[in-house]
Amino acid sequence: MAGLRVQTLIFVLVTALAILDRTFVEANFDKNFIVTWGKHHIGTTNGNLRLVLDKSAGSAIRSKVAHLFGTVEMLIKLVPGNSAGTVAAYYMSSTGTAHDEIDFEFLGNSTGEPYTIHTNIFAKGKGDREQQFKPWFNPTNGFHNYTIHWNPSEVVWFVDGTPIRVFRNYEKEGIAYPNKQGMKVFASLWSADDWATQGGRVKTNWTQAPFVAEGRKYKARACLWQGPVSIKQCADPTIKSNWWTSPSFSQLTRTQLDRMQKIRSGFMIYDYCKDTNRFKGVIPPECSKRQF
């Protein structure tokens, strides 16, 4: 009996470790990310990430592994002072012309003017789904949590635990949804002064360089992408480690909805669904669907 109990315990521990390995990554930026450009403009110290931009180059990293469904989060401190023309990006993306992508981008501004929190989503290569917000806090004087939650039912963008946007799955009605491609996680700092600040009217002041953004405590509680087999495995609600498939994650709670509506009512500055001129009166089909 003692031997049987030991064998059972070993089986449970091995199973638990396998589940943890498949669903959880606690960031060590040196271990779990690679530099994609600006090698000499990136620093990692004591688990923290430092992205630098000057006139010679910006900087960017990406995760070594891809995920399909789950949650990724990072604490980010944006460029302080005159950040006009700079863009700090934190997003998930697959590859190819029909790629999927879920974005947070932070558009800098002149000293004293607020950042713009820019969100977007691509499914099978189609984007143009921007929603933008002014922050209700100072994103440069401390670290704030930015989370992307993604499951077979919906994508939710969170800031400091408050949802600010939802994109629901209406694939059965002909609206593309990102559910068949693993996505890696990216972070970058670069100059886009042709469009980033007040439509490009305010340019980057390079005398203020170097510009620095910081990240820490990246976590991925998500399904590891292992190729096409993951399309079914990561969406299977009978697999206990697929916590994101629980019905409780298919819809925001009443409290979450109330908090989100306050942010959207008070701080949203652009919604593609309301830009009739841009789409010449033909609003994208998901805009007429319930998202919350």
Rounded CA-CA distance 50/216 in Å is 9
Q: What is the pLDDT of residues 29-58, one digit of tens each?
A: 888 999 999 999 999 887 789 999 999 999
Assigned domain for 287 exists: no
Rounded CA-CA distance 74/185 in Å is 11
Task: List all residues 6 or more positions away from 255 whose beta carbon is below 8 Å from its beta carbon.
Answer: none
Give the residue with greater pLDDT, 103 vs 11: 103
What average pLDDT score do residues 71-82 get?
97
Is the distance from CB of 113 to CB of 35 less than 8 angstroms?
no
What average pLDDT score do residues 107-130 get?
96
Average pLDDT, the chain: 91
Task: List all residues 6 or more positions away from 128 whose beta carbon is below 8 Å from its beta carbon.
Answer: 120, 272, 284
The pLDDT, as a whole number, for residue 19 is 40
Assigned domain for 10 exists: no
Catalytic (active-site) positions: 101, 105
Q: What is the pLDDT of residues 153-164, one digit of tens each?
A: 999 999 999 999
Question: Which residues span the domain enclosing 244?
Answer: 31-281
Assigned domain for 56 exists: yes
Assigned domain for 3 exists: no
**In terms of DSSP H, where are the helices of the chain?**
2-23, 29-32, 229-233, 254-267
Specify the CATH number for the domain of residue 209.
Answer: 2.60.120.200
Percent of the chain residues past pLDDT 90, beyond the cut: 84
The pLDDT, as a whole number, for residue 29 is 87
Task: List all residues 6 or more positions away from 249 whose beta carbon is below 8 Å from its beta carbon.
Answer: 149, 151, 153, 243
| DSSP E strand boundaries for the chain | 24-26, 33-37, 42-45, 48-53, 59-63, 67-77, 86-93, 101-107, 116-122, 131-133, 144-150, 154-159, 162-168, 184-191, 211-224, 268-271
Assigned domain for 269 exists: yes
Neighbours of 259 (CB within 10 A): 16
The pLDDT, as a whole number, for residue 2 is 43
Backbone angles phi, psi at 230, to 5 degrees: -75, -20
Give me the number of domains the chain comprises: 1
Assigned domain for 16 exists: no
pTM of the predicted model, to two decimals? Answer: 0.91
Q: Is the pLDDT of residue 270 over 90?
A: yes
